[in-house]
């Protein structure tokens, strides 16, 4: 069954009690005259497994979609959260996510250009979350300072981690976006990576970066970030 984007917010859940047994698809609002995308987070939180997007528009929503299905090798479907599939499944515990961005490796120029000035990279870290019982999407954003003229091995001397409070870890998404700081003009997008919170692991982690078309080849083949990740449950105990 198809649901227009404007109706998604009115749907509580598409779960095991629903009469819909096949693929759940959310379609774009027909009122949209441009190629912009709405966020797929609300549809995913309601149980939709396929959200139609303008795939030619490499915006935040498209990158979230790329990251959601990358966990399955970019093929097939990703299972709904257990709370939407299994009876008497306990609610997931809220988490506090702490992230330090340590350094980058082989960050290319905008669009993988071979010529031009050295980039001034900075990283935008965002968490896209949505309450389990419904409600508006909550986007939490932190930004590192830029590193001047160093895309090969930029280092961010971050003393204190960025912290994110996550209500729905089964659906929430973590996104890293690398940008080039430009004083005279608008900043340029370099690369990004979107990761489901359920796939994030603690420790020192290498984050592979992808270009605007979700590709990791050519100048982007070795592009990555080194980050430190820590989780803490609401009870205060560390999560494995």
Residue 15 DSSP class: -
What's the angle, vertex CA 142, arms to CA 140 and CA 148, rounded to 5?
Answer: 155
22: pLDDT strictly greater than 50: no
Task: Determine the pLDDT at residue 14.
Answer: 52
pLDDT tens for 137-191 read: 999 999 999 999 999 999 999 999 999 999 999 999 999 999 999 988 899 999 9
Written as one string, the DSSP assignment of 50-68 is EE---TT--SHHHHHHHHH
Residues of the chain with pLDDT > 90: what percent? 58
| Residue 213 to residues 13, 39, 105, Cα–Cα distance (Å) | 31, 18, 20
Give all strands of the β-sheet with 25-27 in edge-to-edge order: 2-4, 25-27, 50-51
Token pair 């205060």 is found at 236
Q: How far apart are CA 25 and CA 219, in angstroms?
A: 35
Query: Considering the entire predicted model, what is its pTM?
Result: 0.86
């Amino acid at each position: 069954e198809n649901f227009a984007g404007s109706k998604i917010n009115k749907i509580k859940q598409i779960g095991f009690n629903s009469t819909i047994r096949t693929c759940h698809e959310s379609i774009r609002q027909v009122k949209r005259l441009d190629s912009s995308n709405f966020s797929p987070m609300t549809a995913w939180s309601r149980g939709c497994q396929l959200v139609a997007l303008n795939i030619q528009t490499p915006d935040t929503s498209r990158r979230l979609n790329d990251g959601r299905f990358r966990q399955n090798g970019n093929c097939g479907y990703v299972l709904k959260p257990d709370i939407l599939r299994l009876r008497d499944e306990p609610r997931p515990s809220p988490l506090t996510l702490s992230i330090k961005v340590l350094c980058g490796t082989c960050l290319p120029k905008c669009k993988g250009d071979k010529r031009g000035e050295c980039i001034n990279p900075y990283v935008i870290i965002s968490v896209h979350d949505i309450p389990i019982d419904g409600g508006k999407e909550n986007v939490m954003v932190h930004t590192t300072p830029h590193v001047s003229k160093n895309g090969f091995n930029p280092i961010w001397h971050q003393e204190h981690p960025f912290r994110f409070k996550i209500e729905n870890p089964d659906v929430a998404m973590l996104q890293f976006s690398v940008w080039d700081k430009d004083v005279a003009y608008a900043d340029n997008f370099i690369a990004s990576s979107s990761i489901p919170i359920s796939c994030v692991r603690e420790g020192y982690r290498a984050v592979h970066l992808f270009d605007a078309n979700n590709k990791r080849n050519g100048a982007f083949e070795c592009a990555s970030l080194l980050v430190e990740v820590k989780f803490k449950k609401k009870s205060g105990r560390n999560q494995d």
